[in-house]
Amino acid sequence: MTRSNLFNSLALLLALGTAPLVQASPTDDAMLQLDAIMADESRRQASYAAGHERIRFCGYCHGEDGNSKRDYIPNLAAQHPQYLFEQFEKFGDGRREDHVMSTLAKALSLSERIDIAVYYSQQTANPRQGHAPALAAAGEPLYERHCSVCHGNEAQGVRDMPRLAGQPAQYIEMALKRFQQTDPQQNDSPMIGVARMLGDSDISAVAAYLQGR
Ligand code: HEC
Ligand code: HEC
């Protein structure tokens, strides 16, 4: 169980008061459903097809194949389905805010959120042109020292640790600054502590490095 899932479960138990301690939160049930779909070839194909039907609107910004159309918009291609699914929960319950995404997350049903996460996770991330080679070179050792332990040596991520390779540098910078400004009382993301250790020049360097990965 991730820390945020644990937090959700605790909040739910407190809200319910008398709920038995073994009760799982809706998010945990959904994660189990998602894992079961990913492990079963025919269910995964059905979910992928259903997801494809529902992403027409998303494609305007994130691309039909999950490669984003603008540098301030994240790629969804090859992102882990558990991570994608969890971000809908965060936009939906206010731990993460963006006008469009928060509205959309509340409008999607549970099965739509699962199917869309499955669909985008199966897309291929196109290599993105690296930029600012000197900055990127300065970012590499920073990434290895402070980030690779969670996001992986190839920045490929795992489960709810997002893939970062090939994300636009502009989006990475915005995301790190968003974590710096997030109130740790409202959100238990490990990125809040990580981002607060980084100066502006570290952020530009690590972002330039990741775009070219
Ligand atoms: C108008 C443009 C737009 C549309 C349409 C849109 N998104 Fe987004 N999406 C964004 C932006 C911008 C962000 C980054 C928000 C932020 O700053 O946190 C984002 C973030 C996300 C994230 C988090 C990704 C990450 O790496 O953390 C997911 C998942 C996502 N969108 C899925 C969707 C899905 C699914 C749809 C369709 C139902 C959709 N989006 C439609 C602009 C859009
Ligand atoms: C302790 C593990 C851990 C470490 C160390 C870590 N991260 Fe993360 N990172 C995460 C997790 C977990 C998330 C998902 C956060 C969430 O959902 O709130 C994340 C999310 C992110 C995101 C948002 C991705 C997106 O698509 O929106 C960026 C950017 C990021 N990390 C960059 C970094 C960088 C750069 C470093 C090193 C300076 C780093 N991380 C170190 C665990 C870690």
Burial of 202 (C-beta count, 10 Å sphere; 0-12/13-18/19+):
middle
Atom of ligand 2 nearest to the CA of 176: 29
Ligand 1 close to Cβ of residue 104 (< 6 A) = yes
Distance CA 64, CA 75 (A): 11
pLDDT at 23: 56
| Alpha carbon of 67 to ligand 1 centroid (Å) | 12
Ligand nearest to the CA of 62: 1
Ligand 1 close to Cβ of residue 177 (< 6 A) = no
Ligand 1 close to Cβ of residue 62 (< 6 A) = yes
Q: Spell out a b/e string for 114-130, using b for 16 or more CB atoms within 10 Å of the CB, else e.
A: bbbbbbbbbbebeebeb
Atom of ligand 2 nearest to the CA of 142: 38
Distance CA 94, CA 186 (A): 9
| Alpha carbon of 139 to ligand 1 centroid (Å) | 26
Q: Whose CA is nearest to atom 31 of ligand 1?
A: 101
Per-residue pLDDT of the chain (213 residues; tens, 9 = 90+): 455 554 554 454 444 444 445 556 778 899 999 999 999 999 999 999 999 999 999 999 999 999 999 999 999 999 999 999 999 999 999 999 999 999 999 999 999 999 999 999 999 999 888 779 999 999 999 999 999 999 999 999 999 999 999 999 999 999 999 999 999 998 889 999 999 999 999 999 999 999 999
